[in-house]
Amino acid sequence: MTARLSIGLVSAAHVHADTYADILQSMPDVELLGLADPDARRGRDFAALHSIPFLGDVPALLALHPDAVIVTSENVYHRRDVEAAAAAGVHVLCEKPLATTVQDARAIVESCARAGVRLMTAFPMRFSPTMARVAAAVAANDIGRVRAVSAVNQGQIPTRHRAWFGDRQLAGGGAVADHTVHVLDLLRWLLCAEPTEVWATANHILHADRTEVETGAVVAVTFDDGTIATIDCSWSRPDNYPTWGGLSMEIVGECGVLDVDAFRQRFVVFDAREPGASWTYWGSDADRAMIRAFLDAVRDGAEPPVTGLDGLRAVEVVQAAYRSLELGEPVRVSAVMPPGPA
């Protein structure tokens, strides 16, 4: 019988921590040791909700010698938490964005490399069967060379669930930091190309009474193969929208177009007891597939299919987008990268 992997959760800050706890508890080859959180009240509430131990702070969790941890703390604390795990020889799946600055993201990648631990960035859309089919079609040249992509990753404002998403210091920004990274990672994967230039525009028209960070934005990215892409990363879904948001793309090739909606596999549910409609998603679970891929990499001693370097590249684009907002002009991605090896 295969030995169970011992896994710990670091912080209840992120809304995805709830999903990850439920998934880990459902896996027969996993022992969920519990949750560590410097916010004891938040940690105890989360642990009680999920019927898992509250372990106290991160050193207390690491003292149990877990095989791996999933870091779901506020974005600004990712470096602190990942470096602590790496120093203890513990493998890490880190929530996106990998960090709030390129400098911190690079430090995360380098600390895990020095320690010889596996580092994976939480980009679940890589594990969507819908996106896998699109990637295969692009790789097979079904639509010819890709020239342009129009992508949308909109959502509800996350501050309704976790207030810290509206704190620029803790989150690293607003909609640009929150939603650009998912699409950028998919684009790098689909195109097998790297971003070279970023232009961004953003505003605070939506939810102006609820947060001070940008809530609406479009980020335009040029890749080194000449492809241009636009990313609508806005928090533009109303609170009563049937779901949190979605991810769609129009991929334009020289001899065809691919339209993809990654969350279209859904039922529309009308309930006389509730206003409006809701969506029940019946498609595959990308979060579960992502966690399974991470656990398999830990067990096999293999490189995860999505690495820390992938997370770093996404942070570089986010930081370039914020620099573009400051200057009002396009910014080279290389201009935001600190010195040192990639």
DSSP string, 160-211: GT-GGGG-HHHHSSSHHHHHHHHHHHHHHHHHT--EEEEEEEEE--TTTTT-
Dump the DSSP string for 133-163. Answer: HHHHHHHTTTT-SEEEEEEE--BB-GGGT-G
pLDDT at position 342 is 43
Here the tokens at position 137 are 């079609």
Residue 84 pLDDT class (50, 70, 90 cuts): very high
Beta carbons within 10 angstroms of residue 279's beta carbon: 16
Are 151 and 277 in the same domain? yes
User: Residues 247, 183: contact at Cβ < 8 Å?
Assistant: yes
Q: Quick one: pLDDT band at residue 339, thresholds 50, 70, 90?
A: low
Question: Are 204 and 236 within one domain?
Answer: yes
Angle, vertex CA 104, rays to CA 213 and CA 87, nearest 5: 135
Same domain? For 118 and 153 the reply is no
Q: Are residues 107 and 152 in the same domain?
A: no
Structural domain containing residue 58: 5-124+287-307
Q: Is the pLDDT of residue 340 over 70?
A: no
For the chain, the domain total comes to 2
Per-residue pLDDT averaged across 17-37, rounded? 97
Please tell me the pTM assigned to this model. Answer: 0.93
pLDDT digits (tens, 9 = 90+) for 161-218: 899 999 999 999 999 999 999 999 999 999 999 999 999 999 999 998 889 999 999 9
Q: Are 104 and 155 members of one domain?
A: no
User: Widest CA span of the chain, in angstroms?
Assistant: 60
pLDDT digits (tens, 9 = 90+) for 288-312: 999 999 999 999 999 999 999 999 9
Q: Describe the crossing of helices 40-50 and 16-25 by its angle, rounded to 10 degrees.
A: 40
244 found inside a domain? yes
342 within domain boundaries: no
Q: 173 and 148, same structural domain?
A: yes
